[in-house]
Chains A and B, each alone.
Chain A
Amino acid sequence: MTEPFLSIRSIRKTYGQVTAVKNVTMDVAEGEFMTFLGPSGSGKSTTLYILAGFQDPTDGDILLKGQSLLSTPSHKRNIGMVFQRYTLFPHLSVGENVAFPLRIRRASQVEIAERVKKALKLVRLEGFEERKPALMSGGQQQRVALARALIYNPPVLLMDEPLSALDKKLREEIQFEIRRIHQETGVTILYVTHDQEEALRLSDRIAVFSEGEIDQIGTGQELYANPATHFVAGFIGDSNFINAEVLSNEGGQARLSLSGGTVIDGVPVHAGKSGGKSVLLLLRPERLSLSTRPLDSGLVVTINDITFLGNNIEVTTHTGNGESLSVRLPFGHEAISSISRGDKAWLSFEPKSTHAFA
């Protein structure tokens, strides 16, 4: 078996009574863009800080190319990092900020000048050498920070919510830049965010964090199509959950009874903490189909509201026992013209493409 490039093994970190990271294990391939996605407080930053060497794990190990990193102090790890907050050195110009790692490494004057120029070109800030950080926008400052972190060719680049302080439009612009830079340099990136859209846009793979543990690691498509837990299903993409009863279960394929007596067959069930008969069924709003005519296997609902959202239409509904369900229909869907508030309608879906969580 080939050695994984970066291997995080059973990392645990406690602060007194608080467990920040319970058990994090993952392998990252060279050149991969791996994102830690999860709500605030789920242990993403702590994991990153352990990689950077600012925190020591209570348990576990980190291997880079087979060598444990833990005994190496931060400043000798040669790892690059862009922080959530702006961390340019306030007294130095942009050029000197980017040159800093090379000055520390005692590179020659000529080499420094050449590489600073190249690094600023990479982040599209040529000619900003003399500018003081305080006179630059947040987006520009983070790009300078990126240039400073990449100038010494680190094997791994860590990014801890670097765009969270920027507005949406700028954020998207820099996401695009980060993607381009990842492709151009081929650097391995570990990226932290709580924004699923950002994670989906940037990453090769996403590790979904929840309460100090990784619920699932996979590509965005895998997480969307085959979520392993209720939490992942709710975090990636839009989702509805309705209660259902397991009638029978053969090898993870279940027969379920829904509200109003509808029975569906062949739904993948994911075992959870409670092994009972009641499960939550995931229904993606965009994978539901709506009909005004009765359907045998359909779920009966009442229309609450119809909202036009541009390229699609959101219909909010509720089931017989009051569970709300939203449905996303493409613009021009035939049912739209014939439904209005308070009407009855029938929802249908492909049982195999849904998931039930115990």
Chain B
Amino acid sequence: MLLDFERLAGLRPFLIGLTVVVCLFLILPIVFIAALSFGSSQWLIFPPPSWTFKWYQTLFSDSRWLYSALTSLKIAAIVTVLSIVLGFLAALGLNRGSFMGREALRALFLTPMILPVVVLAVALYALFLQLGLAGTTIAFIVAHLLIALPFSIISIGNALEGFDKSIEDAAILCGASPWEARLRVTVPAVSHGIFAAAIFSFLASWDEVVLAIFMASPTLQTLPVKIWATLRQDLTPVIAAASTILIAFTILLMVLAALFRKGRKV
């Protein structure tokens, strides 16, 4: 291959250096935030003069933080379930169907990935206002579902691509109705795609802030919205603590996904 790593011997130090810089650029802010959340300085001084858990204590003693975390979890969980169910159905149709405009439909489903989120947010906000749904959980879920669905369609679609339909046909001849065959044979066979879809859908909703700001109401705030709202009032290390928890949960999910993928290979 032209870009074979072995062949680029002369460029190797440069490439390795570049990779390290990019990784640092990605990782340092996370490390920085986590460090600040354990720092004693109220003014977020770095390096922290001493270490403390008090910001976490404040965080956990304030029921509004806990409530917003639960809201985040609830919305992300519902979005995940809807996303994999609808994603499976959509992927099945796009994969198996032979109807007019199939490719156009596929592209349409994926537009939320490339559309500026702010544009989507304004449009949805206007729509929900019209429908009288602004500020409701339903609106929140629909908005997040819209950005989660492309991930499901892509990962479940890829898994279906690698699944031989004859296997489903065999189940049907064995006596299973077409939907029974899909549930009992196709779904387990593409479970790795469904699992990836679930992780990505959950994360798409869990750490999403732009749509969330538009969909939120004073009584309906997800964790990122709460962080953002607090940030506008005052800069306290409690925000660093909340952010660290948000990030920790995200990393945990990614690690789980990686472990699952590795487990499948052996």
Q: Which positions in A face B, CB cutoff 8 Å?
A: 52, 54, 73-81, 83-91, 100-101, 104-105, 145, 148-149, 152
Task: Decide: B166 and A83 in contact? CB cutoff 8 A.
Answer: yes
Please tell me which stretch of B34-42, B130-138, B170-178 contacts chain A, meaning at least 4 of its Cβ atoms lie within 8 angstroms of it. B170-178
Task: Decide: A81 and B176 in contact? CB cutoff 8 A.
Answer: no
With A and B bound together, what is the CA distance between A91 and B189 in angstroms? 6
Which residues of chain A are within 8 angstroms of B180 by Cβ–Cβ distance?
A: 75, 104
Mask for B185-207, Cβ within 8 A of A = 1, else 0? Answer: 10011010000000000000000
13 contacts between A and B (CB under 8 A): A74-B173, A75-B177, A77-B173, A78-B175, A79-B173, A87-B167, A87-B170, A89-B171, A90-B167, A90-B189, A100-B176, A104-B174, A104-B176
**Option from A85, A86, A149 in Cβ contact (under 8 Å) with B173:** A149
- Distance (whole angstroms) from the CB of B86 to the closest CB of chain A: 23
Which residues of chain B are within 8 angstroms of A101 by Cβ–Cβ distance?
A: 174-175
Task: Decide: B174 and A85 in contact? CB cutoff 8 A.
Answer: no
On whether A85 and B185 interact (CB within 8 A), knowing A74-B172, A74-B173, A148-B174, the answer reads: no
Q: Which positions in B face A, CB cutoff 8 Å?
A: 164, 166-167, 169-178, 180-181, 184-185, 188-189, 191
Residue of B nearest to A87 (CB): B170
Which residues of chain A are within 8 angstroms of B174 by Cβ–Cβ distance?
A: 75, 100-101, 104, 148-149, 152
With A and B bound together, what is the CA distance between A152 and B173 in angstroms? 11
**Option from B164, B169, B175, B188 in Cβ contact (under 8 Å) with A104:** B175
Residue of A nearest to B176 (CB): A104
On whether A75 and B170 interact (CB within 8 A), knowing A85-B164, A89-B185, A91-B189, the answer reads: no
**Option from B173, B175, B189 in Cβ contact (under 8 Å) with A89:** B189
Which residues of chain B are within 8 angstroms of A83 by Cβ–Cβ distance?
A: 166, 169-170
With A and B bound together, what is the CA distance between A73 and B178 in angstroms? 10
Which residues of chain A are within 8 angstroms of B188 by Cβ–Cβ distance?
A: 89, 91
**Option from B167, B173, B189, B191 in Cβ contact (under 8 Å) with A80:** B173
- Distance (whole angstroms) from the CB of A97 to the closest CB of chain B: 9
**Option from A85, A91, A105 in Cβ contact (under 8 Å) with B175:** A105
**Top 10 A-B residue pairs of the complex, sorted by shortest distance between their CB atoms:** A87-B170, A101-B174, A91-B188, A104-B175, A87-B167, A81-B173, A87-B166, A83-B166, A75-B172, A74-B172
With A and B bound together, what is the CA distance between A148 and B169 in angstroms? 13
Which residues of chain B are within 8 angstroms of A104 by Cβ–Cβ distance?
A: 174-176, 180
Which residues of chain B are within 8 angstroms of A52 by Cβ–Cβ distance?
A: 169, 173
Residue of A nearest to B181 (CB): A75
Which residues of chain B are within 8 angstroms of A79 by Cβ–Cβ distance?
A: 173
Which residues of chain A are within 8 angstroms of B164 by Cβ–Cβ distance?
A: 85-87
With A and B bound together, what is the CA distance between A326 and B173 in angstroms? 47
Which residues of chain B are within 8 angstroms of A84 by Cβ–Cβ distance?
A: 166
With A and B bound together, what is the CA distance between A223 and B171 in angstroms? 36
Task: Decide: A100 and B167 in contact? CB cutoff 8 A.
Answer: no
Residue of B nearest to A78 (CB): B175
With A and B bound together, what is the CA distance between A104 and B178 in angstroms? 12
Q: A85-B166, A91-B191 are in contact. List 11 more A-B contacts (CB 8 A).
A: A52-B169, A73-B177, A74-B173, A75-B172, A75-B181, A81-B170, A81-B173, A83-B170, A91-B189, A104-B176, A148-B170
With A and B bound together, what is the CA distance between A241 and B6 in angstroms? 60
**Option from B166, B175, B185, B189 in Cβ contact (under 8 Å) with A75:** B175
Which residues of chain A are within 8 angstroms of B170 by Cβ–Cβ distance?
A: 81, 83, 87, 89, 145, 148
- Distance (whole angstroms) from the CB of A94 to the closest CB of chain B: 14
Which residues of chain A are within 8 angstroms of B184 by Cβ–Cβ distance?
A: 100
With A and B bound together, what is the CA distance between A75 and B191 in angstroms? 24
Residue of A nearest to B167 (CB): A87
Which residues of chain B are within 8 angstroms of A149 by Cβ–Cβ distance?
A: 173-174
Q: Which one of B172, B180, B185 has the highest number of Cβ atoms from chain A below 10 Å of its Cβ?
A: B172
Residue of B nearest to A154 (CB): B173
With A and B bound together, what is the CA distance between A105 and B180 in angstroms? 12
With A and B bound together, what is the CA distance between A84 and B169 in angstroms? 12
- Distance (whole angstroms) from the CB of B170 to the closest CB of chain A: 4
**Option from B172, B175, B177 in Cβ contact (under 8 Å) with A152:** B175
Which residues of chain A are within 8 angstroms of B176 by Cβ–Cβ distance?
A: 75, 100, 104
Which residues of chain A are within 8 angstroms of B185 by Cβ–Cβ distance?
A: 89
With A and B bound together, what is the CA distance between A182 and B197 in angstroms? 46
Residue of B nearest to A84 (CB): B166
Which residues of chain B are within 8 angstroms of A88 by Cβ–Cβ distance?
A: 167
- Distance (whole angstroms) from the CB of A84 to the closest CB of chain B: 8
With A and B bound together, what is the CA distance between A78 and B175 in angstroms? 7
With A and B bound together, what is the CA distance between A90 and B159 in angstroms? 13
With A and B bound together, what is the CA distance between A152 and B181 in angstroms? 17
With A and B bound together, what is the CA distance between A54 and B178 in angstroms? 11
Which residues of chain B are within 8 angstroms of A148 by Cβ–Cβ distance?
A: 170, 174
Q: Which one of B166, B174, B176, B180 has the highest number of Cβ atoms from chain A below 10 Å of its Cβ?
A: B174
Q: Which one of A52, A75, A81, A148 has the highest number of Cβ atoms from chain B below 10 Å of its Cβ?
A: A75
With A and B bound together, what is the CA distance between A78 and B188 in angstroms? 24
Which residues of chain B are within 8 angstroms of A87 by Cβ–Cβ distance?
A: 164, 166-167, 169-170
- Distance (whole angstroms) from the CB of A192 to the closest CB of chain B: 14
- Distance (whole angstroms) from the CB of A101 to the closest CB of chain B: 4
With A and B bound together, what is the CA distance between A81 and B180 in angstroms? 18
- Distance (whole angstroms) from the CB of B217 to the closest CB of chain A: 44
